[in-house]
Amino acid sequence: MTETVQTAVIGVTGYAGAELARLLLHHPRLKGKPPVFAGRVDEKDAARGGVPLAEIHPELAGTPLVATLKQEPFSWDLLTARGVEVLFLATPHEQSRQWVPEALARNIRVIDLSGAWRLAHAPHRAVYAFEDDGTPEAEAIQAQAVYGMPELHRAQIAGARLIANPGCYSTSVILPLRPLVSAGLVDLDHGIVADAKSGVSGAGKAPTAKTHFMYAADNLSAYGVFTHRHTGELLEQIGLSNSQIVFAPHLLPIPRGILSTIYLRFREPQTRNSVARVYREFFAASPMIRLYDKTLPQIQHSVRTNYADIGFQIANDSRRAVVVCCLDNLLKGASGQAVQNLNVLFGWPEDEGLE
């Protein structure tokens, strides 16, 4: 077990970056060893050594050491000089594709919050249209990437050099479905419907016409049906074909949080106890999963936590079920899961710094 490590964050200015900074600055293993924050800095700010972190995120003011921290101009020499061992990338997918090879060449481990390295199969990666896809160099790096969902890949994460943090929607669908599919309970020929709804922060900090207040407020809209880039993650991690699931994302007029409602049919009649037993056994070693007994999860109970809340109801025919999963898209769906991966990577308690 490693006692502590030097981390760095690129992309602290975004919503996920802010949460990542907060978690790492409060992490008990990193006390006195704050992350290096680096990124794009203009000439004026570079002259003063970077942008003070408290100016970027005033909500962090008062946190220990924040007054001394800045987002400094990015360079590999900076990371080397500071002894960075783990690099968190809260950057666009294309940027991560460029920087991960260099980080690995410098023996810096990477936890990548983008979708750059999540997908093992080329047809699923096609939605990103990466220019280097299929090259020997990219294939060699992809082969090293571990899908960073501890509940599924804890052992592989522990020895990984590159951890590809899952998507937020993907997390909210994979976690409730994988145990049931792996146990052979689900009638895959009948098909699965995953009806997922996310708060506006899931679209990132850069404003768009569809995340503008006048569009999103007092509204609920579906988007990316059959084309959303998280679909490939569902297929690979649950073990489904494209024809076995319909994934329908929606934009909720709230700042943060995801609620995924999943409709499925069992191959054989099931009882509440038989399904609950599958979940309990699958998640027995997973401290960030909360299983609901008699009620269904709600966004308000999981928001601002790193928990994924899972509950279900079975119809009177014992064959049809509705499963609900709620989580915070910026925490369990992004930065919290990234820190959870850091904990697993270094043999620390999985929930340390997250409760």
Q: Which residues are catalytic?
A: 168
- Walk across the sheet containing 289-291 and list its strands: 221-222, 245-251, 192-198, 258-265, 320-327, 308-314, 289-291
Q: Which two tokens stand for residue 140?
A: 């060699």
Contact between 251 and 210 under an 8 Å Cβ cutoff? The reply is yes
Cβ within 8 Å of residue 171, ≥6 positions away: 149, 308, 327, 332, 333, 337
Q: Of 250, 232, 249, give the one whose Cα is nearest residue 241.
A: 232
Cα 51 from Cα 45, distance rounded (Å)? 6
Cα 330 from Cα 156, distance rounded (Å)? 24
Long-range contacts of 20-23 (CB under 8 A, 24+ apart): 20/88, 20/90, 20/113, 20/334, 20/335, 20/338, 20/339, 21/53, 21/57, 21/60, 22/57, 22/59, 22/60, 22/63, 23/335, 23/336, 23/339, 23/353, 23/354
What are the E-state strand segments in 69-185?
Answer: 70-73, 86-89, 109-112, 145-147, 162-164
Determine the residue type at 207.
Answer: P
344-348-354-355 Cα dihedral, nearest 10 degrees? 130
Cα distances (angstroms) measured from residue 59 to each of 12, 55, 89, 130: 13, 9, 21, 36
Find tokens 């810096």 and name the residue: 108
Q: Of 122, 113, 123, give the one whose Cα is nearest residue 170.
A: 113
Find tokens 């052979």 and name the residue: 184
Fill in the DSSP letter of residue 268. S
